[in-house]
Structure 1
Amino acid sequence: MIHTFPTLTPKGLLSAMASETAPCLLDVRLAEDIADPARYLPGALAVPHQDTQTLQALAARNGAVVICHKGLKISAGVTARLRNAGVNAWRLEGGHIGWIDAGFPVLTEAPNTVLAPLAATPAETAQIWAIARFRVPMAEMLAVPRADLLGVAQRFDAVAFSDIDIPDLPGLHDLLAQASLSALFGAQCAAASDPRGAFPHLDAAYRGWVCHETFTPNAATQAICAGKEQP
């Protein structure tokens, strides 16, 4: 019998990130493996690999993808420990280095609170979605009247979406350009009470692009996107 360990490829993770039920990304690299200034996968949270309580708490809702330096012993141990606790977890194939070798970006730490305007335009909604999914997935997002953006930013130590760079991920900027010009997406945005209401349409569009243009996701990726455990 062939035994397989629960693993996601970098491209598989890219697809899984475009989902409301995306797993959290746990960076468990050792201190000596982190450069100065520190850079992480988009949205990844740095947690010591022996801090089991924090790891389990972060992974409890949607599971976790565990990232160590090269995707070997540390991520394997954390993934196994999370699964022992009944938490869905996968290690990232190749780890932090494998993500970089795949041509994907690593970023500095992101803000904890992000502001978005109510009644956002289609172009703004697409930008907010990209930031929420691929830059600050763990951040609190506050949708407020446009006139209050500056005041809320000052009072709540928040950052407006327009001040956050969008990661240079495959196909992402092309999708944003297409969405901003789409009459159908414009209607979907108009029907939403705030920008997040249109996110599922962009999730589906990006996962479809990744599937048909870049690769065919494996069963683990498909399960994560569906919010289910790997079969």
Structure 2
Amino acid sequence: MPSFLEISSDKLSRLIGTPGAPSIIDVRTEEDFALDPRLVPGSIRRSHADVASWACSIEADAVVVVCQRGGKLSHGVAAYLRHAGIEAESLEGGFEAWIAEGLAVPEEKLPRRDLEGRTVWVTRARPKIDRIACPWLIRRFVDPKALFLFVPTTEVLEVGARFGATPFDIEEVFWSHRGELCTFDVMVEEFRLASEPLLHLARIIRAADTARLDLAPEAPGLLAASLGLSRMYSDDLEQLEAGMLLYDAFFRWCRDATEETHNWPAPKKRA
């Protein structure tokens, strides 16, 4: 049972993927990380050795610190962060406890980060489904600070080359449709995020994005909401922010509420 300065893997896994998830900082040594170069979803690597220089730059209300076994490194960094006014906990059992039951993102799949530590992505302007769903997945499970550039279709590859941005959901790039799979499916697979809720959500997104609405009964609703959002917003980034809430809701339904039904009319008490 974790102490009041620790969080369990089970509790953290319930927070990851939600808007209220804490920032996750991986402070494993280079030697430990080299033995298993995977990351807790949404985490970023930092060195424990220079925590005093970066602690005050963390822009988060709550942080979970991960080291190899949940010992001195994570507790020491968490203590430094609490001095900076940040609510900080150590992951109980560290990364070793996490991988025993949780998902882990392969570090080599992440694009290189910019000078501010963000992954940068570029895709076609005027998104509808996949180009909103993929940014949602990246921000909730891969890189919460990820930057998304929406540009004309003809300029996606050149913008990617000139600005160090990774293209997605466009033909002939790595992060795109493969056979019957849409880009969201590919990201779930490549980032090793194949949990039951995300696979369920991926099926709904694939059905709506590829006009195969028979694949999932929820797909027509997602398609309608997505097309509605695309007409409500002329600014792609504003549409993305609105779409984040839409996919938050679909994810929570896939994870927690698929068996729940509406109770109208309400059952009447016996006379």
Q: Which residue of 1 aligns with 2:269?
A: none
Task: Indicate whether 1:177 and 2:209 are aligned.
Answer: no
- How far is 1:130 from its partner? 0.9
Q: Which residue of 1 aligns with 2:247?
A: 202
Letter in 2 for 1:199: M
Contact 2:24 2:43 in 1 (8 A): yes
Contact 2:198 2:254 in 1 (8 A): no
Task: Indicate whether 1:105 and 2:104 are aligned.
Answer: yes
Please give the alpha-carbon distance, in whole angstroms, between the structure 2 residues aligned to 1:37 and 1:48.
Answer: 17
Q: Which moved more, 1:179-188 or 1:197-206?
A: 179-188
- How far is 1:210 from its partner? 3.8
Change (3 A) 1:35 1:78: same
Q: Which residue of 2 aligns with 1:126?
A: 133
- How far is 1:82 from its partner? 0.9
1:54-133 to structure 2, matched below 5 A, reads 54-109=53-108, 110-111=110-111, 112=113, 113-133=120-140
Q: Which residue of 1 aligns with 2:163?
A: 156
SS at match of 1:71: coil
Aligned-residue identity in percent: 29
SS at match of 1:34: helix
Please give the alpha-carbon distance, in whole angstroms, between the structure 1 residues aligned to 2:45 and 2:61.
Answer: 17
Please give the alpha-carbon distance, in whole angstroms, between the structure 1 residues aligned to 2:53 and 2:256.
Answer: 33
Letter in 2 for 1:136: D
Contact 1:7 1:92 in 2 (8 A): yes
Change (3 A) 1:145 1:13: farther
Letter in 2 for 1:94: G
- Structure 2 spans left out of the alignment, 5+ residues: 114-119, 176-186, 209-218, 259-271
Contact 1:25 1:65 in 2 (8 A): yes
TM-score by length of 2: 0.67
Q: Which residue of 2 aligns with 1:220?
A: none
Please give the alpha-carbon distance, in whole angstroms, between the structure 2 residues aligned to 1:43 and 1:70.
Answer: 19
Q: Which residue of 2 aligns with 1:186?
A: 226
Contact 1:27 1:67 in 2 (8 A): yes
Change (3 A) 1:73 1:21: same
Q: Which residue of 1 aligns with 2:7?
A: 8
- How far is 1:68 from its partner? 0.4
Q: Which moved more, 1:59-68 or 1:149-158?
A: 59-68
Letter in 2 for 1:185: A
- How far is 1:66 from its partner? 0.6
SS at match of 1:66: strand
- Structure 1 spans left out of the alignment, 5+ residues: 214-231
Letter in 2 for 1:46: R
SS at match of 1:175: helix
TM-score by length of 1: 0.77
- How far is 1:125 from its partner? 1.8
Contact 2:62 2:86 in 1 (8 A): yes
SS at match of 1:35: helix
Please give the alpha-carbon distance, in whole angstroms, between the structure 2 residues aligned to 1:79 and 1:169.
Answer: 30
Change (3 A) 1:28 1:185: same
Aligned residues: 211
Please give the alpha-carbon distance, in whole angstroms, between the structure 1 residues aligned to 2:93 and 2:150.
Answer: 37
Please give the alpha-carbon distance, in whole angstroms, between the structure 1 residues aligned to 2:51 and 2:149.
Answer: 30
Q: Deviations over 1:162-196 (max 9, x none)?
A: 43433324221321322432234324542343234
Contact 2:69 2:95 in 1 (8 A): yes
SS at match of 1:141: strand
**Aligned CA-pair RMSD:** 2.7
Contact 2:122 2:167 in 1 (8 A): yes
Q: Which moved more, 1:165-174 or 1:67-76?
A: 165-174
Contact 1:27 1:44 in 2 (8 A): yes
